[in-house]
Amino acid sequence: MTPLLPATANHPLLPRLARRRGLQAWLIALSLAVMALAPRIWIGTESHLFYLLPIIAVGLSATVTGRKPTFLVLAITTAANIWTSALPTDLPALALSMLFGVIAWLLAEVFWELGAYRRRTDQLSVHLDRRQVMLETILASVPVMTVTREGMIQMLTHPACQLFGTTQASVGKPVSAFIDGFDAIEESASVGPNDHVWTGRRENEITFPLNVQVGVLPEQPASDHLILCLTDLSLAHAADAHARDLHAQLNRVWRLNSLGEMAATLAHELNQPLSAATTYLHASQVDVARAGLMGESAGRTIELAKGQILRAGSIIRRMRELLAHQARSLGQERVGAMVADLAGVFSMIERAGGVQIQIQIDDVHDRVRADRIQFQQAMVNLVRNGVEALAGTADPQLRIVGRVLSDAEFQIVVEDNGIGIAAEKIDTIFRPLMTTKAGGMGLGLSVTRTIVESHGGVLQVEKSVLGGAAFSFCLMREQEMEPE
């Protein structure tokens, strides 16, 4: 990634102040010492001027090299001073040389401090420049406006202009022209995160849901302006509304499906006793007929009772037939899209169960024949069961896999690493009204099986590679529509 600002872009002084290290530093120090001593040939040792040059050399060395090379400059120049002017017994000159050493060292310390200080300042300056660029980049991509306490717009970023369909000409206008009922003084008290939904108003009078996070410039506690971070909630609201609609639709379908399943079960269960009752009545009729005229009236009553039972039986039969042949409108659908459409419903299930649903669907070759809402109902049933089976599992996992199984079939698997299903229970779990849950109705799997069968598939269950249960079924692929 390209840095926002090169480290020294705006700081030409930095390279000059940069310290030299290693051999380079030692060579510079040595050169400075030589340059400081060489002019003595002309100045001679009589003049005190020759103390000046070594002091400059030590200062320079302190600026561009480290402590050790500077100490070398100091040592060489002090030694040269003592050697050439102080020895053997000139005590004042010796004292002067020592004084030079101390002054030069103090000077070096000052230069070091100064150098360190300047380097810190330059670093801070680069840091500030970077933050400035970063801030400007953020502001260029986020809808933000600043507002006076009187509620007048002071500044608005480009995305804020786009949000309200306006231009920079809106600076100075009241913010309430864009956010219905926004009172700057009242809202300055609500600094910090809040979920309030405002009504944003574009210049063309179109309104939209808006979230406003209010901030006050921190360095000005009695500030006269607020910072408003704006979020357009239209998309989020539309997604929520879609999820709610789908949820309501699925609930309706679930009620119908479960009612159908209950009716089918009842019809199945009642059919036998009703046939038995008819047989018994028929037998009684035969017995009564043997009694001749006396039994005639009773025979007629039994005939009426038989008629009613047969009628009840035919009502039930009709209902079963109706449910069995309930037309499912299988259309051309894409599995990936049907599952993606459930995102809002799944996120509700995820939140409630504390599970993250993984979706791995081949969404290139996923064209199938399906009844969208019935398929989604089946998926929600299987996912909800999986999430319930994961209660109390450490590291819960639930996966929806969709893949091409053959030219004709697209397989869907919903698997988890929950409690799983004991082998001896595998046959019973699909029976209507069979449940192991306290509040369960025992209809989810039987409804799901009916849906899968109405799509020409078979609902199967086996042990998942994840450790829990894996429910799977196939849908018919729409091959002729596949892209080449």
CA distance 238 to 244: 10
Contact stretch for ligand ADP (CB under 6 A) within 45-53, 133-141, 259-267, 419-427: 419-427
Local structure of 195: helix, strand or coil: coil
CA distance 347 to 336: 16
Q: What is the residue whose two structure tokens read 């996912």?
A: 383
Q: Is 401 in the site for ligand ADP (CB under 6 A)?
A: no
Q: Is 200 in the site for ligand ADP (CB under 6 A)?
A: no
Angle between the N-to-C axes of helices 372-389 and 444-454, in degrees from 0 to 180, rounded to the nearest 10: 150
Helices marked H in 325-371: 335-340, 343-353
Backbone angles phi, psi at 357, to 5 degrees: -85, 125
CA distance 202 to 312: 65
CA distance 156 to 145: 4
- Contact between 131 and 79 (Cβ < 8 Å): no
Number of residues that bind ligand ADP (CB under 6 A): 22
Backbone angles phi, psi at 474, to 5 degrees: -120, 150
> What is the number of residues in the chain?
484
Q: Which is nearer to ligand ADP, 10 or 428 (CB)?
A: 428
Q: Is 416 in the site for ligand ADP (CB under 6 A)?
A: yes
Q: Is 436 in the site for ligand ADP (CB under 6 A)?
A: yes
Q: Is 153 in the site for ligand ADP (CB under 6 A)?
A: no
Q: Is 396 in the site for ligand ADP (CB under 6 A)?
A: no
* Least distance from ligand ADP to the Cβ atom of residue 421, Å: 5
Q: Is 445 in the site for ligand ADP (CB under 6 A)?
A: yes
* Least distance from ligand ADP to the Cβ atom of residue 180, Å: 46
Q: Which is nearer to ligand ADP, 200 or 353 (CB)?
A: 353
Q: Is 54 in the site for ligand ADP (CB under 6 A)?
A: no
Q: Is 125 in the site for ligand ADP (CB under 6 A)?
A: no
Q: Is 385 in the site for ligand ADP (CB under 6 A)?
A: yes
Site for ligand ADP in 452-481 (CB under 6 A): 468-469
Q: What is the dihedral of CA 240, 242, 245, 251, to 10 degrees?
A: -90
Q: Which is nearer to ligand ADP, 143 or 418 (CB)?
A: 418
* Least distance from ligand ADP to the Cβ atom of residue 354, Å: 16
Q: Is 404 in the site for ligand ADP (CB under 6 A)?
A: no
Contact stretch for ligand ADP (CB under 6 A) within 26-34, 235-243, 323-331, 415-423: 415-423
- Among 335, 444, 459, 474, the residue binding ligand ADP under the rule CB under 6 A is 444
Backbone angles phi, psi at 155, to 5 degrees: -150, 145
CA distance 25 to 68: 9
Q: By the criterion CB under 6 A, which residues form the site for ligand ADP?
A: 385-386, 389, 416, 418-421, 429, 434-437, 440-446, 468-469
